[in-house]
C-alpha cells in the first residue's frame, strides 16, 4: 500500500510540475502580448470570472508541493 501512495505522490508531483510549466508558458505568452499592445486596455473586457474552487485547488497543490519539498 505504501508503494501505491508513493506512486500517487510521484504522479501528483509530475502533474503539478507540468501545470507549473504550463503556467510559466502562459505567463510568458501574456507578457510578450502585453509588450505588443499599444492601445489602452479596457478593463471590463479583460476581467474574467474567477473560479474559486480551481483557485483553492491550486493553492492546496502549491502548499502540498512546498511541504513535500521541505521533507
- Domain enclosing residue 37, as ranges: 2-70
**What's the pLDDT score for residue 44?**
57
Cα distances from 29 to residues 22, 45, 46, in angstroms, run: 11, 19, 16
**What's the pLDDT score for residue 30?**
75
Query: How many domains does the structure of the chain reveal?
Result: 1
**What's the pLDDT score for residue 6?**
84
Mean pLDDT in each 10-residue stretch from start to end of the chain (71 residues)? 82 90 85 61 63 89 91 76
**What's the pLDDT score for residue 41?**
56
**What's the pLDDT score for residue 61?**
93
Amino acid at each position: 500500500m505504501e508503494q501505491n501512495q508513493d506512486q500517487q505522490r510521484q504522479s501528483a508531483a509530475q502533474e503539478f510540475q507540468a501545470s507549473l510549466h504550463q503556467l510559466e508558458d502562459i505567463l510568458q505568452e501574456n507578457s510578450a502580448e502585453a509588450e505588443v499592445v499599444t492601445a489602452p486596455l479596457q478593463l471590463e473586457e479583460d476581467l474574467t470570472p474567477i473560479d474559486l474552487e480551481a483557485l483553492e485547488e491550486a493553492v492546496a497543490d502549491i502548499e502540498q508541493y512546498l511541504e513535500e519539498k521541505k521533507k
